[in-house]
Amino acid sequence: MTETLTINLDQFLPYSPARVWKALTDSALLARWFMPNDFQLKVGHRFTFQGTPMPSVKFGGTAYCEVLDFEPERFLSLSWADRGGNGLSFTVTWRLEPEQNGTRLFLEHTGFDANNQLSVRSHQIMSKGWLGVQESLEKFLASLEPEVKSVNA
């Protein structure tokens, strides 16, 4: 049996689930805090995230993704694969839970093979990377505050 590694993170965001959901699912907003993309919120939609190549794990810079499932303002699940030579594929799921004065956002990144050195190294890099992504999302949402004060989202 293959032993797997998972990245699990959670963070409190002092914003409504509607606002957090929009940042996760609006392609133009995603590009501002995460990566350039051609995302559409539709199950089965295939899209890419354009990142930075990482030769140490044979990541070519493009994540090939597909929307697996979603429930508005509750969760979004994506497949995530690299065709740049490392053969790795993952599932990334964001889950939102309303919390007093904001939203608890959970991230689960699965599919790391503990017996594959490239996969283990990717797990190490992405564990740190997702922490930076969390920070980027929080800063981005804070920057939107003045724009949306009159909107109840």
Whole-prediction pTM: 0.90
- Does 151 score more than 60 pLDDT? no
CATH architecture designation of domain 4-145: 2-Layer Sandwich (3.30)
Q: What percent of the chain has pLDDT over 90?
A: 80
Higher pLDDT, 48 or 153: 48
Can you spell out the DSSP letters for the chain? ---EEEEEEEEEESS-HHHHHHHHH-HHHHHHHT--B---SSTT-EEEEE---BGGGTB-SEEEEEEEEEETTTEEEEEEEE-SSS--EEEEEEEEEEETTEEEEEEEEEEEETT-HHHHHHHHHHHHHHHHHHHHHHHHHHHHHHHHTTS--
Segments making up each domain of the chain, as ranges: 4-145
